Structure 1
Amino acid sequence: MKQKVIAIVGPTAVGKTRLSIEVAKKFGGEIISGDSMQVYKGMDIGTAKIKEEEMEGIPHHMLDIKSPDEEFSVADFQYYVQKYIKEISARNHIPIIVGGSGLYIQAVLQDYNFSKEKRDDAVTKRLEDEMKQNGIDSLFNRLKIIDPNQAEKIHPNNFRRVLRALEIFEKTGLTMTEYQKQQSNISPYESMLVGLEMERVILYSRINQRVDDMVKEGLLEEVKVLIEKGYQNYQSMKAIGYKELIPYFSGEVSLDESLEILKRNSRRYAKRQYTWFKNKMDVNWYELTPSTMNEKIKDILANLAGFIES
C-alpha cells in the first residue's frame, strides 16, 4: 500500500499553520514545512516561520536546515521531504506537508525526476558568462520567447531557475514546460490535499495586517542582521519579505514605501498561489471566514478521518 500523506496548501495568511496543528494532534502527525524559504536559518519573521510555543509539541521538519548563503533547489526540497516522509511513516505517524510553494509540493507528490537531465557544465558556463556580460534580463527575455509559461512562474532575478530552463531547452530541444509534462503523474503516495481559501478582500486585509505584525515582531532588525552578515545578494534574500526592505536600508526609498511594496507583493503572491494550486493540483478546497473557521476545521478533520481510515 502507498504511504498516506496529507498536504495543507493555500495562499499566505489564510490559516494553514493553525489547521496543521489541529490535524497533527488529531491524527498523530508530524509536520513538514512546504515553504521553500523556511529552510533558512535566521529568516524567521519574514517567512512567517512557526514559533516553538505554537508547535504544541508537534515535531516540525524542514526548518532551519540551510544558511542563507547556501543554494536550495526544488530538487533538494524533494530529496529532503521524501526522506522525512519515509522516516515519519516508519514511526507510524502521518506526514503532513504544510505550505504555499506549489511547485515544490507538486515535485514531492508527483515524484518529479530531476536527475534525468544532468547538468552540462559547458552550457551552464556559457550561459553564466552571457549573464555576466549582458545581465540576467537578456536571458530572461529569451526564456519569455522560448517558454512563456515557465517565464510566468520564475522571478526575473532567480537566475538559477532561468539558467536551468534555458539549459534544458538547449540540451533536449524541449521547453521546461514540455519537459515537466513528460513527468509521470503517478504518485508514489496516497495523498489528500486540503486547500484553504478566503474571500479576497478579507485575505488581503489579513496579509496587510500580517506585514504590520511582522514589523512589530522585529522584521526590520531581522533583515538588518542578514544584510550585516553579507547575505543581501544571495538567492535567499530575493524572497518576499526581505527584498523589499533592502532598498530601505540602502537609503533608496522610505520605510513606508518599502512596506507598501511588501504588502503589494504579498497580495500578488497570494493570487499566484491560488492560480497554481487550482490549475496544477487536485485540491479539496474549503472557504474560510474568521467567524466560520472553527466549524470548517471540524469539517476538515472529519473528512481527513475518512481518508486516513480508508
Structure 2
Amino acid sequence: MPQPIVALVGATASGKTGLSLDLAERLGGEVVNTDAMQVYRGMDVGTAKLPEAERRGIAHHLLDVLDVTEPATVALFQEWARDAVVDIRGRGATPVLVGGSALYTRAVVDRFDFPGTDESLRRELEVELERVGGPALHARLAGVDPEAAARIEPDNGRRVVRALEVIALTGRPFSASLPRLEYADPLTVQVGVDIDRPTLDERIARRVEEMFATGFVEEVEALLARGLAEGRTAPRAIGYREVMGYLAGDRTLAEAIEQTTTATRRFARRQDSWFRKDPRIVWVAHDDPDRVAQAVAAVTAVSA
C-alpha cells in the first residue's frame, strides 16, 4: 500500500514550516512546497523560504523552479506536484505538502480538472482589463457568476480574466470548475495549524520587521534587475509590490513596512476563512506540545 499524502495547511506565520519538518522526520517523508510564490528563484526573504541549511537534510520539492519573469499557473503546478507525489511514494516515502496557497493545495489533493484555454480570447480580456480596470471587470464577473466573484478579490485581475475566459469557453459558471471537496486519492489527510488571531498578528508583524531587517529591499532590487516588474505572477506577491513602490518613490520605507504587515494580516484572514470551510481538516493547536503526535495520529488513522 502506498504511503498517505499529508497536506499541512493554515495561515501564514502560523508555524506550518516547523511542523512540516517534524512530520517529515516522524513519517519518513519529503516536503512538497505548495506556496505559489516560493516556486520562484530569488524570492527568498519575502516569502520566508526555508534556507537549505535549515531543512534538516529533508528533501524539498517545487522550490526555485521558475524565474520571476515566468508565469505560474495552478494547472502547471498541479502537474508538477502530482508528479512529485508519485515519485516520492514510489520510493516508499511520505509526501508532506506544506504551504499557504489554498488553491494550490486543493489542486493537488482534490478532484480538480482544468478547462482549456484560448489565447485569443485571453488577450481580448486582458486588453479589456487594461482599459476598464480590475474592479469593473470584477463587476462584470459578478453579474454572470456571483459565486466565483465572491471568491476572487476585485484587484486580482488575472483570476478575473481566467474566470471570464472559462465561462466563455464552457458556457458554465467558473465556480463549477473549482475543486470539489473530494480527494483524488482517499489516502489523503489534511492537518491544519490552529492559531488565535492576536498571536498571529503579532507573529506577522515580527516576521515583516525581520524581513526588512535582513535584506528584503536588496532582494527586490536584485529581482527587478532580473525582470521582476515584467513578470505576470511574481510581482503580485505581498511585500514585493510594496517594496517596488518604495523603490519607485511612491511611498516611504515605513509605509512599505506598514502596508506589507497590513496586507499579510488580511491575507492570513482569507487563508483561515478558506481552510475553515473544509470539514476534512484535522486541526492542531500551534502551541500544543503534543501537536506532532496528534498530526501523526491523524495520518495513521487514514492509512490504517
Q: Same fold (TM over 0.5)?
A: yes
Structure 1 window deviating more from structure 2 (40-49 vs 128-137): it is 128-137
Q: Please give the alpha-carbon distance, in whole angstroms, between the structure 1 residues aligned to 2:68 and 2:155.
A: 16
Q: Please give the alpha-carbon distance, in whole angstroms, between the structure 2 residues aligned to 1:147 and 1:303.
A: 37
The answer as to 2:292 corresponding to 1:297 is: yes
Q: Please give the alpha-carbon distance, in whole angstroms, between the structure 2 residues aligned to 1:281 and 1:242.
A: 33
Could you say which residue in structure 2 is the equivalent of 1:93? 93
Q: Please give the alpha-carbon distance, in whole angstroms, between the structure 1 residues aligned to 2:236 and 2:75.
A: 19
Could you say which residue in structure 2 is the equivalent of 1:134? 132
Could you say which residue in structure 2 is the equivalent of 1:203? 200
Could you say which residue in structure 1 is the equivalent of 2:122? 124
1:226 aligned to which of 216, 223, 226: 223
Structure 1 window deviating more from structure 2 (86-95 vs 271-280): it is 271-280
Question: After superposition, where does 1:98-247 map in structure 2 within 5 Å?
Answer: 98-114=98-114, 117-180=115-178, 185-234=182-231, 235-247=233-245
Counterpart of 1:52, as a letter, is E
Q: Please give the alpha-carbon distance, in whole angstroms, between the structure 2 residues aligned to 1:60 and 1:158.
A: 29
Per-residue deviation at 1:2?
6.3
The CA deviation string for residues 89-136 of structure 1, in whole angstroms up to 9 with x for no partner, is: 11100001001111111111113111xx32233422322332344344
Report SS of the residue matched to 2:242.
Answer: coil
Structure 1 window deviating more from structure 2 (144-153 vs 215-224): it is 144-153
Counterpart of 2:104, as a letter, is Y
Q: Please give the alpha-carbon distance, in whole angstroms, between the structure 1 residues aligned to 2:296 and 2:194.
A: 16
Report SS of the residue matched to 1:8.
Answer: strand
The CA deviation string for residues 13-56 of structure 1, in whole angstroms up to 9 with x for no partner, is: 01111111111111110000110110000000111111112100
Q: How many residues align?
A: 303
Work out whether residues 27 and 94 of structure 1, in 8 Å CA contact, stay in contact via their aligned partners in 2: yes
Q: Please give the alpha-carbon distance, in whole angstroms, between the structure 2 residues aligned to 1:174 and 1:90.
A: 38
The answer as to 2:70 corresponding to 1:70 is: yes
Per-residue deviation at 1:155?
4.0
Q: Please give the alpha-carbon distance, in whole angstroms, between the structure 1 residues aligned to 2:227 and 2:118.
A: 30
Structure 1 window deviating more from structure 2 (211-220 vs 29-38): it is 211-220
Report SS of the residue matched to 1:32.
Answer: strand
Q: Please give the alpha-carbon distance, in whole angstroms, between the structure 1 residues aligned to 2:181 and 2:210.
A: 42
Structure 1 window deviating more from structure 2 (228-237 vs 62-71): it is 228-237
Counterpart of 1:129, as a letter, is V
Structure 1 window deviating more from structure 2 (202-211 vs 156-165): it is 156-165
Gaps of 5+ in 2: none
Q: Please give the alpha-carbon distance, in whole angstroms, between the structure 1 residues aligned to 2:129 and 2:11.
A: 33
The CA deviation string for residues 152-203 of structure 1, in whole angstroms up to 9 with x for no partner, is: 433444433222100111122222112336x583523411110001111011
RMSD of the TM alignment (CA)?
A: 2.0
Identity fraction in percent = 36
Q: Please give the alpha-carbon distance, in whole angstroms, between the structure 2 residues aligned to 1:297 and 1:283.
A: 15
Work out whether residues 46 and 214 of structure 1, in 8 Å CA contact, stay in contact via their aligned partners in 2: yes
Could you say which residue in structure 2 is the equivalent of 1:254? 252
Change (3 A) 1:78 1:121: same
Report SS of the residue matched to 2:7.
Answer: strand
Q: Please give the alpha-carbon distance, in whole angstroms, between the structure 2 residues aligned to 1:258 and 1:10.
A: 25
Gaps of 5+ in 1: none
Report SS of the residue matched to 2:8.
Answer: strand
Counterpart of 1:222, as a letter, is E
